[in-house]
Structure 1
Amino acid sequence: MMDDLRIAAVVCRCPVGRLSHNVERTRHWVNQAKNQDATMVCFPEMNLTGYSNRDEIKAHAISANSKTIDSLVKLADDLRIALLVGFAEQAENGAIYASHMVITPRGRTALYRKIHLAPPETDHFSPGAALPIFDWKGMRFGIQLCYDAHFPELSTIMADAQADVIFIPHASPRGQASTKHQSWMRHLPARAYDNGLFVVACNQTGDNQNGLVFPGNAVAFSPSGEIMSTRLSGRSGMLIVDLKADQIHYVRGHRMRYFFPNRRPGLYQRKTVLTDLGN
């Protein structure tokens, strides 16, 4: 079971195609997170390359083995902090993925490729085909990217793999931070509550110089589905949240609050039978 961990979830502006600028801002926020004793810092979807659902994103995609990533591996090692960073990934087979990378302080890296593409993304990205769960410092966690969070089965699978936390970096545009927060409140608390795990989500903010404006919000939910902390200013900044092992122990040790063990997956996999009751 996980230990207590302090997490930083960053809200930041990520203009498309301005890789050097975005990397510099990433370095800034990592240092800020370290100064507040965070052990892991999570950035929004595609914070390095910027997010775009237009053809030009292909020109801005980077390799998971690029010098940009190498520099962040060194940063994580130097500061002894884990990073969750996002980018449009240029894969060796030529495909473009919406990807998020885990970088540990010891230089190990792992990748999540977005599984569920939003309709405007399908012409520009390939969907991922793997569902990794990451294990670091006693914490098991999964990553979902924005549109992924609308599919409950994904969280169920992660919970079945004993995930303690699901990080959900967003590039979700339009509206104000408060209205985007209300939109998230329709589904993100359920992901935490139904599965007895923490959910931490953060979004881009501001004009991405590619036709989209982001509202800049972040939120963390407890394994009881309750809000632990929010950031709704619409400006760049960080949400600092302490994920306490006691919170997850309490839910999972309570026979009436931890629903997951009482599922009947064998039954769910059977075909339903339609019973015609007439007119």
Structure 2
Amino acid sequence: MRDFRIAAVVCRSPVGQVKHNLERTRYWTRRARREKAALVCFPELNLTGYSNREDIAEHAISAYGAEIDELVRLSADQQIALLVGFAEKACDGRIFASHMAITPQGRTGVYRKLHLAPPEADRFSPGKTLPVFHWSGIRFGIQLCYDAHFPELSTRMAEAEADMIFMPHASPRGQALDKHQSWMRHLPARAFDNGLFVVACNQIGNNGNGLVFPGNAVVFSPSGEIIETRLSGDPGMLVADLTADQLHHVRSHRMRYFLPNRRPGVYSQTPTLTNLDE
């Protein structure tokens, strides 16, 4: 990979207020561009707002709709890639929790959340594909909130040569520090075990639909160490430089880069139960 500056936004995203959320997306995109970021990542479902209630279907938008067209133009105008989230209404009527990558060249790609949290399972359909995006000298994956609790997903992205994984969240309850401490139980492991960067950001404030979000953000290096963190109680933006040297430091070390030493053929076997009671 090349040296790469990213921005991760912490913003309030009221449910159903797509016009308002689009305006805030424009605002933070321009702020990120002024900070010379090459890519800006927004929280999970930042365009439609996050809800696990039945009414989320009323607010879902198409991946080919006018809102996305507007963001494609914004990306081209500002010359910055966008990672934006929305409740996606598919052509067959199913609703997905989706995150779209939009490049200044007008290319788009969508990740649909693979692992739905139990309160979401009646509202969304799970995705079935595992994309890793290649753009401007980097490879990256996207995971949404609950996805991050499943180590196999990060490993599969690492096997596809991902340099970084973006993990937008809509994770409510508690203060920013409380949520950060919760993330510290598993997010550093996703970076450390797979030798890649992890970037996570969360919604903030009352979404007008019964949920309040703490608004934290953090970036981990491929060695699982914090590069930047944001624990403020206000909307804002974290900016971090992800460097090729940080990645090389881990991946060139015979003891610190674990991925090449995996044995997937062994893992595919059915475990042998050995009875020690007899």
Instruction: Tell me the TM-score range normalised by the shorter chain.
Output: over 0.9
1:168-215 Cα distance to aligned partner (Å, 9 max, x none): 000000000000000000000000000000000000000000000000
Give the C-alpha shift of residue 80 in structure 1.
Answer: 0.6
User: In structure 1, how many angstroms separate the alpha carbons of the residues matched to 2:233 and 2:65?
Assistant: 31
**Alignment match, 1:270:** 269
**Alignment match, 1:76:** 75
User: In structure 2, how many angstroms separate the alpha carbons of the residues matched to 1:62 and 1:51?
Assistant: 13
Name the SS of the counterpart of 1:111 in structure 2: strand
Name the SS of the counterpart of 1:190 in structure 2: helix
**Alignment match, 1:85:** 84
Name the SS of the counterpart of 1:240 in structure 2: strand
Give the C-alpha shift of residue 86 in structure 1.
Answer: 0.2
**Alignment match, 1:210:** 209
1:78-122 Cα distance to aligned partner (Å, 9 max, x none): 111000000000000110000000000000000000000000000
Name the SS of the counterpart of 1:69 in structure 2: helix
Q: Write the letter of the residue equivalent to 2:71.
A: L
Unaligned runs of 5+ in 2: none
RMSD: 0.5
**Alignment match, 2:142:** 143
**Alignment match, 1:107:** 106
**Alignment match, 2:238:** 239
1:229 aligns with 2:255: no
Q: Write the letter of the residue equivalent to 2:190.
A: R
**Alignment match, 1:199:** 198
Name the SS of the counterpart of 2:272 in structure 1: coil
Name the SS of the counterpart of 2:16 in structure 1: coil
User: In structure 2, how many angstroms separate the alpha carbons of the residues matched to 1:137 and 1:6?
Assistant: 12
User: In structure 1, how many angstroms separate the alpha carbons of the residues matched to 2:37 and 2:233?
Assistant: 22
**Alignment match, 1:53:** 52
**Alignment match, 2:18:** 19
User: In structure 2, how many angstroms separate the alpha carbons of the residues matched to 1:240 and 1:150?
Assistant: 25
* Structure 1 outlier segments of 4+, above 4 Å: none
User: In structure 2, how many angstroms separate the alpha carbons of the residues matched to 1:149 and 1:234?
Assistant: 23
Give the C-alpha shift of residue 278 in structure 1.
Answer: 1.0
User: In structure 2, how many angstroms separate the alpha carbons of the residues matched to 1:20 and 1:196?
Assistant: 39
**Alignment match, 1:173:** 172
Give the C-alpha shift of residue 234 in structure 1.
Answer: 2.1
Name the SS of the counterpart of 1:275 in structure 2: coil
Name the SS of the counterpart of 2:58 in structure 1: helix
Name the SS of the counterpart of 1:98 in structure 2: strand
Indicate the percent of aligned positions where both proteins have the same amino acid. 71
Name the SS of the counterpart of 1:272 in structure 2: coil
Q: Write the letter of the residue equivalent to 1:164.
A: D
User: In structure 2, how many angstroms separate the alpha carbons of the residues matched to 1:213 and 1:121?
Assistant: 16
1:222-275 Cα distance to aligned partner (Å, 9 max, x none): 000000000001210000000001000110000011011111110011011111
**Alignment match, 2:121:** 122
User: In structure 1, how many angstroms separate the alpha carbons of the residues matched to 2:67 and 2:269?
Assistant: 47
User: In structure 1, how many angstroms separate the alpha carbons of the residues matched to 2:9 and 2:71?
Assistant: 16
User: In structure 1, how many angstroms separate the alpha carbons of the residues matched to 2:55 and 2:234?
Assistant: 27
Name the SS of the counterpart of 2:166 in structure 1: strand
Q: Write the letter of the residue equivalent to 2:133.
A: F
